[in-house]
Amino acid sequence: MLNEQTIQVIKSTVPVLEIHGTAITKRFYERLFTSHPELLNIFNHANQKQGRQQAALANAVYAAAVHIDKLEAIIPVVKQIAHKHRSLGVRPEHYPIVGEHLLGAIKEVLGDAATEEILQAWAEAYGVIADAFIGIEAQMYEQTEQQLGGWADFRAFKVDRKVKESDVITSFYLIPEDGKSIASFEPGQYISVRMSIPGEPNTHIRQYSLSDSPEKPYYRISVKQEVETRDKPAGHVSNYLHQEVKEGDVLWLSAPAGDFVLDQQDERPVVLISGGVGLTPMVSMLNTMVEKQPHRPVTFIHAAQHGKLHAMRESVEQLARIHPQLSAYWCYNQPTDLDKETNAHHREGYIDSKWLQSIVPTRDAGFYFCGPTPFMRAVNGILKEWGIPQSDIHFEFFGPASSLEPVGAEIG
């Protein structure tokens, strides 16, 4: 444990980290990849280029400093990150490397303000935090490998089927190449896919939510083809999956991971809210409930620009026809003429508080949501405004975690 003097030194750096945190983490990654380019095989290059990974690490370092005297407060965050580390193949030997370059970045960015006392305190704190990660991840590796159908690291899966779900989303049905059983999972979890793209020096790892219920002989992922926009580059891996990967090809998968999961011990109603490709973990939860908890009331709400971009609508509508406890609603903010003619959506525009309260029968429910970060900020704000307890609000980020402080009321 850390002594009181070390704790006070760490806490004294909180204002500095609030100002210089992102500069420190940016320099950290530059140092790390220059000294250990092999680690580029683990990290998401797109998140690096967009600055998302740097911002996420800066937030994590800041949180560690704020809570340094009660590190148990950040254990839930440690476990969330540890799930991702396990699925990526992060190992104990990586932590001293990270520590060396994080301290080096602090010294470089802060200059003379980074005294020996501050650097020593952060070295001690990093050691304690790293030990927490290593211990939790060791348990996860062991549990993952020893479970029925489980495995360590990455395992070869064959693309059994490739199904177009919308203009931008395609599902891949993946079966183990060795023909053996596969690990079960909790609805809401994800797998990591490791790709070797011809002509590129590094492998790429991407995490995709499983989009069907567990206990099937396959894993299904439903991938959005990310095209280039003003705000972000084209999705390197998603485009390769859509354009080049064919039925019969082999992909390398980690075992399922993640702590954003459906609480199946809870018998209360569930509200599933998604935007865009964020519907993938929601469909997994929905399919699981209609199979295992057929009497549990479910409200399924999905937002998309228009019908051509709306994946899995027919399958959800079919479930709603069969299961009276399921209510499904669509919200299109740019409906096509065909959408309007066929009245294929329940609402034109955005999800807002008044409409949500009009279709959700009770506040006494579990609320789960996933989608683009602005969408999730808005949903989170609506739920808080409605008085939903934090314990009933559950969400998942695709990629590094961000802030969900509400920045507006509209959702697109």
Contacts of 233 (CB under 8 A, 6+ apart): 46, 49, 50
| Inter-residue contact 277 to 190 (CB < 8 Å) | no
Taking only the tens place, the pLDDT of each residue in 166-225 is 999 999 999 999 999 999 999 999 999 999 999 888 899 999 999 999 999 999 999 999
CATH for 315: 3.40.50.80
Nearest-angstrom CA–CA distance, 153 and 36: 20
State yes or no: 281 annotated in a binding site: yes
Quick one: 239 and 355 in the same domain? no
Are 160 and 247 in the same domain?
A: yes
- 95 carries an active-site annotation: yes
The rounded distance, in Å, linking the Cα atoms of 277 and 206 is 15
**Same-domain check for residues 18 and 107:** yes
**Mean pLDDT score, 118-140:** 92
137 catalytic per annotation: yes
Q: Which of 146, 167, 190 is the last residue of a domain?
A: 146
Catalytic residue among 95, 141, 329, 368: 95
pLDDT at 273: 98
Q: Which of 29, 126, 137, 368 is catalytic?
A: 137
* Residue 349 assigned ligand-binding role: no
215 and 328 together in one domain: no
- Three-class secondary structure of residue 51 per DSSP: coil
Beta strand extents in 85-189 (DSSP E only): 155-164, 169-176
Residue 97 included in any domain: yes
What secondary structure does DSSP assign to 293-341, as a single string?
-TTS-EEEEEEESSGGG-TTHHHHHHHHHH-TTEEEEEEESS--HHHHH
| Residue 136 placed within a domain | yes
207: annotated binding-site residue? yes
Q: What is the DSSP string of 196-260?
A: --TT-SS-EEEEEEB-S-SSSSSEEEEEE-----SSS---HHHHHHHHT--TT-EEEEPPPB-S-
**CA 311/CA 74 separation, integer angstroms:** 36
Average pLDDT (128-155) is 94
278 is in an annotated binding site: yes
Domain containing 162 equals 155-253
The pLDDT value given to residue 401: 57
**pLDDT band, residue 64 (cuts 50/70/90):** confident
Q: How many domains, in total, are found in the chain?
A: 3
- Looking at residues 371-398, what average pLDDT do you find? 93
Mean residue pLDDT of the chain comes to: 90
pLDDT digits (tens, 9 = 90+) for 3-37: 899 999 999 998 988 899 889 999 999 999 999 99
Same structural domain, 54 and 74: yes
Residue 381's pLDDT band (boundaries 50, 70, 90)? very high
Last residue of a domain, one of 127, 146, 165: 146
Residues 383, 338 share a domain: yes
What whole-number distance in Å separates Cα of residue 238 and Cα of residue 33? 24
Between CA 219 and CA 237 the distance in angstroms is 18
**Which of the pair, 338 or 279, is modelled with greater confidence?**
279
Does 190 appear as a known binding residue? yes
Same domain, 97 and 8: yes
Asked, for residue 406, whether it belongs to a domain, the answer is no
d(C-alpha 170, C-alpha 22), whole Å: 35
pLDDT in tens, 300-319: 999 999 999 999 999 999 99
- pTM for the model: 0.91
The pLDDT score that the predictor gives to residue 409 is 36
- In this predicted structure, what is the pLDDT of residue 407? 41
Specify whether 194 is located in the same domain as 306.
no
* Statement to judge: residues 104 and 172 lie in one domain: no
Q: How far apart are CA 203 and CA 184, in angstroms?
A: 26
**HEC sequence for 247-267:** CCCEEEECCCECCCCCCCCCC
Q: Does the annotation flag 206 for ligand binding?
A: yes
pLDDT at position 410:
36
How far apart are the C-alpha atoms of 287 and 315, rounded to whole Å? Answer: 10
Query: What's the pLDDT score for residue 341?
Result: 80
Determine the pLDDT at residue 402: 55
Model confidence at 230: pLDDT above 50 = yes
Query: Looking at the domain assignment, is residue 404 inside a domain?
Result: no
Per the domain annotation, does 324 fall within a domain? yes
Tokens 């490998």 found at = 145
244, 317: one domain: no
- Determine what percent of the chain is predicted with pLDDT higher than 70: 94
CATH number (domain holding residue 88)? 1.10.490.10
Q: What is the pLDDT of residues 264-283, one digit of tens each?
A: 999 999 999 999 999 999 99
pLDDT digits (tens, 9 = 90+) for 243-272: 999 999 999 999 999 999 999 999 999 999
pLDDT on residue 404? 62
Between these two residues, 43 and 133, which has the higher pLDDT value? 133
Last residue of a domain, one of 253, 282, 314: 253
Segment 230-235 shows an average pLDDT of: 71
For residues 120 and 160, state if they share a domain: no
**208 annotated binding-site participant:** yes
Q: Is residue 265 part of a domain?
A: no
For residue 248, report the phi and psi dihedrals to the nearest 5 degrees. 100, -20
**336 in a domain, yes or no?**
yes
Average pLDDT for 32-59: 81
- What CATH number is attached to the domain comprising 240? 2.40.30.10
The more confident residue out of 373 and 369 is: 369
Residues 178, 129 share a domain = no
- Report the share of the chain in percent with pLDDT over 90: 74
What is d(CA 401, CA 293) in angstroms, rounded to the nearest whole number? 30
Transcribe 384-412 into DSSP letters: HHHT--GGGEEEE-SSS--------S---
- Note whether residue 300 is domain-resident: yes
Residue 85 annotated as lining a ligand binding site: yes
pLDDT band at 412 (very low <50, low <70, confident <90, very high): very low
